[in-house]
Amino acid sequence: MTNRAVPDAGTQIEIYRRMALIKANDERSRKVIMTGRLVMPYYSPRGQEVIPSAISVNLTDEDYVCTIYRGSHDQLAKGLPLKDLWAEVAGRTTGTCKGKGGPMHVTYPTKGIMVTTGIVGSTMPIANGLAWASQLRGDGRVTVANFGDGAANIGAFHESLNLASVWKLPVIFVCQNNEWGEHTAYDKTSNVKVADRAAAYGIPGERVDGNDPFAMYAAAREAIERARAGEGPTLIEAMTYRFHGHVFGDQDAYMDKERKARAMADDPVPRFRARLIADGVADEEQLAEIEAGIEAQIDEAVEFALASDFPGVEELKRDVFAEELN
Amino acid sequence: MTNRAVPDAGTQIEIYRRMALIKANDERSRKVIMTGRLVMPYYSPRGQEVIPSAISVNLTDEDYVCTIYRGSHDQLAKGLPLKDLWAEVAGRTTGTCKGKGGPMHVTYPTKGIMVTTGIVGSTMPIANGLAWASQLRGDGRVTVANFGDGAANIGAFHESLNLASVWKLPVIFVCQNNEWGEHTAYDKTSNVKVADRAAAYGIPGERVDGNDPFAMYAAAREAIERARAGEGPTLIEAMTYRFHGHVFGDQDAYMDKERKARAMADDPVPRFRARLIADGVADEEQLAEIEAGIEAQIDEAVEFALASDFPGVEELKRDVFAEELN
Amino acid sequence: MATQTAAKPAKANILQAINAAIADAMESDDNVVVLGEDVADPEEGGVCGVTKGLSSRFGDARVRSTPISEQAIVGAAIGASLVGFKPVAEIMLMNFTTVAMDMIVNHAAKLRFMSGGQTHVPIVIRTMTGTGFASGGQHCDYLEAWFAHTAGIKVVAPSSPRDAYGLMRSAIDDPDPVLFIENLPTYWTPAEAPEKDHRVPIGKANVLSEGSDVTIIAYARMIQEAMPAVAQLAEAGISAELIDLRTIAPWDRDTVLASVARTGRAMIVHEAVTPFGVGAEIGSVLNEELFGKLKAPVKRLGGAFCAVPFSKPLETAFAPQTADIVDAAKALMA
Amino acid sequence: MATQTAAKPAKANILQAINAAIADAMESDDNVVVLGEDVADPEEGGVCGVTKGLSSRFGDARVRSTPISEQAIVGAAIGASLVGFKPVAEIMLMNFTTVAMDMIVNHAAKLRFMSGGQTHVPIVIRTMTGTGFASGGQHCDYLEAWFAHTAGIKVVAPSSPRDAYGLMRSAIDDPDPVLFIENLPTYWTPAEAPEKDHRVPIGKANVLSEGSDVTIIAYARMIQEAMPAVAQLAEAGISAELIDLRTIAPWDRDTVLASVARTGRAMIVHEAVTPFGVGAEIGSVLNEELFGKLKAPVKRLGGAFCAVPFSKPLETAFAPQTADIVDAAKALMA
Ligand SMILES: Cc1ncc(C[n+]2csc(CCOP(=O)(O)OP(=O)(O)O)c2C)c(N)n1
Ligand SMILES: Cc1ncc(C[n+]2csc(CCOP(=O)(O)OP(=O)(O)O)c2C)c(N)n1
Ligand SMILES: [Mg+2]
Ligand SMILES: [Mg+2]
């Protein structure tokens, strides 16, 4: 694969900004939970920052994304405003879903964030439908379906990739292989690479270093261009690592300590930061300013969220159907 | 694949006997339905005789098989007595399932016929469990899971082949690719060979001419030997052709006339018959005697079935649970 | 197929009515699309031909046959609906909804609520079922109670061509997911043809015959068993009111309660097994709302509590029949 | 984990009780095997550790972690059970049964009947659920009514460690499939420890407190809401009988009917949404069997008719609470 697409300087900085945003937001989330200011099931995306950041710079607000409970990185990279996110995970009326969805169901169509789901494997069938809509309209949009390595073993994966292939849908299946599905290591659940399963559907499949912004950018860009050109779906297996336990509170004793230490030492966020500076793409000051801006925005979002109102019980009767229940 | 297993003369004749039995039983079934002596949903296995015949000569009564609504060929090849079958499809108390299951749910554990199902794809998950039991007991049995080409696109296929691979189960997945799933042609529903999907699970996969008794025998034998030796599952895609519509009464206008005519001209049953004679493995008289014997047995079975009693309504309360309902 | 002909036939069957309803909806709204196994014309418009002619008329893009992949079918319908399409998806038989329950229950039914109303899922899921064709245990279940117990999805089950047309048009119009249950064995029974653009509102029952002694509440094929029962009861001097529920969720409490308040006696008839079935909900509401006003306990007549048996006499005995309805009504009067 | 210690602790929680029950069953019968996501020890015996210690003690062959493949999990359990094993399969959360409904409903529940009794499916399917941990719309549903509406599968839902142990042992003993529902938020509440080999018969309810004015029928976490309600009602001069159903299918009609026949008033409380829920069946039966003998209409208290909401005040309001039970009982007495 020579001559792969390379992000220009501005795009590199934008990828980094999104990564830094995800990392900072994750750290703040864990802190806010730890200090008891908020109670929510929290699935940290720490370690997986590169994937959605390098993908989303190739997308517009009109493109669609479906993601999972471990999805704040995908949402933020796609442009979800921090205030709307924080208010949602705090269960407030000002949240994206009025607090009714919560962290596992964040939805924000304005930025193309169409579905966040808690059911393993379920982004893929729905993503196909979004992509079918684009195909019918010829609007050139693409849909990105995110899922984990564990989800590559569930039936919906198979049905979805096959249908996308047969219908040549403009959809990109992004398997974020963080080596773990809850407490189970990926290599105990499958004897093959996820990317190699693409062949079972006659579609392109690529395993890529999901912690390398350049590799991830190139793979995503090529897949997205193919999709926009009407050449059908792609399966990308983005290799990464889950820095924390499955969910906040999980002590992750089952995770190999050494492997984890190595992954964390290789943290993709400071690594890319250092590279940007080394390559002369950005200087320390510029990045520090970006980071400071992010922190300020998060401060504001958290305070906004916690100061917002909780929904009233009348909301139990709303949004079940179009008409309110009586 | 040089040096593949070849059935000896006796085995060849036995394969033919099973094929002739399936063909004769199919012809009689359609006749009995046509003349109104029996009403049942009937899924003809005509054209697919070779597959179970060449597989089952490598199995014992202790080995397990799971099959589908289109399964009378699999059942007969595995040794299901004609009387028990006919009484079941006639809904009589003397049937395998006392008439409660019917043609889509024929069960006969005495010969290892453990499940016949009407839900596409559902033989495979259950077959894994049977194979797991054998693995736990170390009893050397194998399980054959039959399914159609259409079933290769449903989620259960994926989950089952993956689990069988990870657990190294003694199971053989036999996809009887008859080119059709109801009214839909296989090549409209998938861009790849079914056998090529084996690679997605890291297991051996082979596309074989399912209408060639030698090829089918060799593929089955090797897979069964691997399974018995603890080397795990195999996916076999046996290419064949459905001579009739999906279900009795289907006028099959959607099936390409020429393709069908070609397949029927190449009918595997008379073809193998001619070969046995040409090869000097059997003579006309011997085969005619086998065929006559089969006809006589079918005569007897049909009459036995139609003369048997229907179950009484008290059966609605039985076999729901171990204890009878009140 | 009825759809192509200009002159409206005096008679139509349910199959033709559903076909016409989808065709008319597709004609009037480009966002109506159809998907499912065998639904396009090269595949004969479905095993029974309900969608025959649609792909030829509206094109392959809008009417798509699928692989055998029910999760993918419902998922594709959901996804397209989130951005303005109105998919009509077929899950061939109701028992096959079991492989798509996640999509139906966790997603289609919940996305409006979980998104705080930002998205909604205007899909119709068509599915066939019903005893009578000796299909055995895995092809005939009526599972409507499961979906009625699920907030966010509506459930309808027409018993006539007119209602089938009118409910299908309403289901496609509806901004929320609707499960549309078709009784297979009664597809071909001709009856009064629906007029074009006729609507049957979701949530409105139909009083098929008025009576003063007992209210019989039924739907789908059970209407065909109940109609002769009403006649037989009349001969026996019992005046039965027959209500075709048409919509199971949300069911028409006003119509049912008004009727039973008048008659004082009620019976609910369905093919689904009795325990925990639709009859349980209706029975409970009748008892709650008309406490002390009923002249007899509410009677539930449902399928036997077992898998649907194959053998003909058992299959026949499984579901309520006219004679059972007559007997039960007489017992209520006793 | 409790299982490994020789001295029986005076107290245990439900999680420990289930663990001990499975361990004791595995000890006494080699055919008992365990499978599900994360169930073995390298995976910590499940997300909450219910099966912790079992794979270390009984070996990797008999206790197997699986890929995330619920159809394959239940299918493997069914297959092994057909030839004599007694698998205990875990479907982590009840909402995930939606991806395994075909295996559970079309196969596990029906194979005995469809085979005319030649085969049967002695499996236990463990699954957790329950509101209280802010998990939102796809992780907390109580779907027991679906399974109760399915002939051929039993459904139990313990509310105490003793019952959890006793019901798990009985479920494993049972020759037919049993769905075993565990309430996640109450896993860790300590209570009286079960003695070894204790059994709670499937189909037998438990009268937790006797009373003469009103019968409260509940199960699972709702018992914890109902207990204080009974005390508060006593203070208000209302004598409430509290019945823990324990088994939902087949539920204990004798015990419930005898109680309500005495009290004349009944309330059913569950976390599942009210319409078409378990309360509907019990309410209907009470009205059928005790027609004219009830002093007030049977009251059903269930979850709000919506997806489980995330926001804390909404989640709290979703499920019945002690105060709701007290208020409803007082209304029944009025
Ligand atoms: C159908 C289904 N089964 C099980 C679960 C429970 N569960 C939640 S997350 C998870 C692990 C998923 O792993 P993976 O797909 O790799 O995603 P990751 O969490 O690593 O991002 C499991 C088993 C679920 N949510 N849905
Ligand atoms: C889950 C499910 N979906 C749909 C059906 C309806 N159906 C019955 S047979 C069939 C075609 C199956 O084709 P294939 O797997 O190739 O088997 P064949 O009939 O050709 O032997 C379909 C779609 C079903 N029984 N189960
Ligand atoms: Mg993972
Ligand atoms: Mg086929």
Which residue do the tokens 């324990």 mark? D246
Query: What does the longest C-alpha to C-alpha distance in chain C come to?
Result: 60
What pLDDT, on a 0 to 100 scale, did the predictor assign at position C98?
98
Chain D residues with CB-CB distance to B64 below 8 A: 83
Could you tell me if the CB of B120 is within 6 A of ligand 2?
A: yes
User: Is the pLDDT at C9 greater than 80, yes or no?
Assistant: no
The interaxial angle of helices C70-82 and A155-167, nearest 10 deg, is 70
Q: Which of D240, D212, D239, D213 is nearest to D226 (CA)?
A: D240
What pLDDT, on a 0 to 100 scale, did the predictor assign at position A3?
84
**Residue C84 to residues A134, A315, C32, C81: CA-CA distances in angstroms?**
11, 25, 9, 5
Q: Average pLDDT for residues A219-244, to the nearest whole number? A: 98
pLDDT band at residue C2 under the 50/70/90 scheme: very low
For C121, nearest residue in chain A (alpha carbons): A321
pLDDT band at residue C8 under the 50/70/90 scheme: low
Helix (H) or strand (E) holding D18: helix D14-28
Q: Is A200 on the interface with D (CB under 8 A)?
A: no
Q: Which of C125, C179, C172 is nearest to C31 (CA)?
A: C172
Q: Which of A93, A154, A160, A255 has the most D C-beta neighbours within 10 Å, making it the best mutation to test the interface with D?
A: A154
pLDDT band at residue C6 under the 50/70/90 scheme: low
Chain D residues with CB-CB distance to C277 below 8 A: 149
What pLDDT, on a 0 to 100 scale, did the predictor assign at position B3?
84
The ipTM value here is: 0.98
**CA A188 to centroid of chain Cα atoms:** 24
Q: Is B200 on the interface with A (CB under 8 A)?
A: yes
Check CB contact under 8 Å for D275 and C149. Answer: yes
Q: Which of C92, C101, C125 to mutate to test the pocket of ligand 2 (most atoms within 8 A of CB)?
A: C92
Check CB contact under 8 Å for B190 and A166. Answer: yes
Query: Which chains have 3 or more CB–CB distances shorter than 8 Å to chain D?
Result: A, B, C
Mean pLDDT over all residues of chain C?
96
What pLDDT, on a 0 to 100 scale, did the predictor assign at position B133?
98
Q: Is the peptide bond between A81 and the residue preceding it cis, with omega within 30 degrees of 0?
A: no
Distance C26 CA to ligand 4 centre (A): 31
What pLDDT, on a 0 to 100 scale, did the predictor assign at position A126?
99
**Residue B78 to residues B153, B268, D231: CA-CA distances in angstroms?**
27, 19, 65
Check CB contact under 8 Å for D83 and B318. Answer: no
What is the per-residue pLDDT across B29-42, written as a single tens digit (0 to 9) for each?
Answer: 999 999 999 999 99
The Cα–Cα gap between C120 and C118 comes to: 7
**Contact present, B128 and D79 (Cβ < 8 Å):** yes
DSSP β-bridge partners for residue C181: C127
Chain D residues with CB-CB distance to A121 below 8 A: 68, 99
% chain A with pLDDT above 70? 99
User: Is the pLDDT at D7 greater than 70, yes or no?
Assistant: no
Q: Is B197 on the interface with A (CB under 8 A)?
A: yes
User: Is the pLDDT at C81 greater than 80, yes or no?
Assistant: yes
Chain C segment 116-155 residues within 8 A of D by beta carbon are: 136-138, 143, 145-146, 148-152
**Contact present, D89 and D126 (Cβ < 8 Å):** yes
The backbone torsions φ and ψ at residue C159, rounded to the nearest 5 degrees and listed phi first, read -120, 0
Chain D residues with CB-CB distance to B125 below 8 A: 71-72, 74-76, 78-79, 103
- Which residues of chain B have a pLDDT value below 70? 1-2
User: Is the pLDDT at D1 greater than 70, yes or no?
Assistant: no
Q: Average pLDDT for residues C26-30, to the nearest whole number? A: 98
Q: Is C331 on the interface with B (CB under 8 A)?
A: no
Nearest residue CA, atom 5 of ligand 1? A120
The backbone torsions φ and ψ at residue C90, rounded to the nearest 5 degrees and listed phi first, read -105, 125
Check CB contact under 8 Å for A101 and D43. Answer: no
C9 vs D163, more confident: D163
- For A45-60, b where at least 16 C-beta lie within 10 A, e where not — what string? bbbbbbbbbbbbbbbe
- For C19-35, b where at least 16 C-beta lie within 10 A, e where not — what string? bbbbbbbbeeeebbbbb
What is the per-residue pLDDT across A175-190, written as a single tens digit (0 to 9) for each?
Answer: 999 999 999 999 999 9
Chain C residues with CB-CB distance to D273 below 8 A: 149-151
Which ligand 1 atom lies nearest to the CA of residue A147? 15
- D134 min Cα distance to partner chain A (Å): 6
The backbone torsions φ and ψ at residue B65, rounded to the nearest 5 degrees and listed phi first, read -140, 140
Q: Which of B43, B94, B100 has the most C C-beta neighbours within 10 Å, making it the best mutation to test the interface with C?
A: B100
Check CB contact under 8 Å for C275 and D148. Answer: yes
pLDDT band at residue D10 under the 50/70/90 scheme: confident
Which ligand 2 atom lies nearest to the CA of residue B176? 21
Which ligand 1 atom lies nearest to the CA of residue A118? 25
Q: Is B34 on the interface with A (CB under 8 A)?
A: no
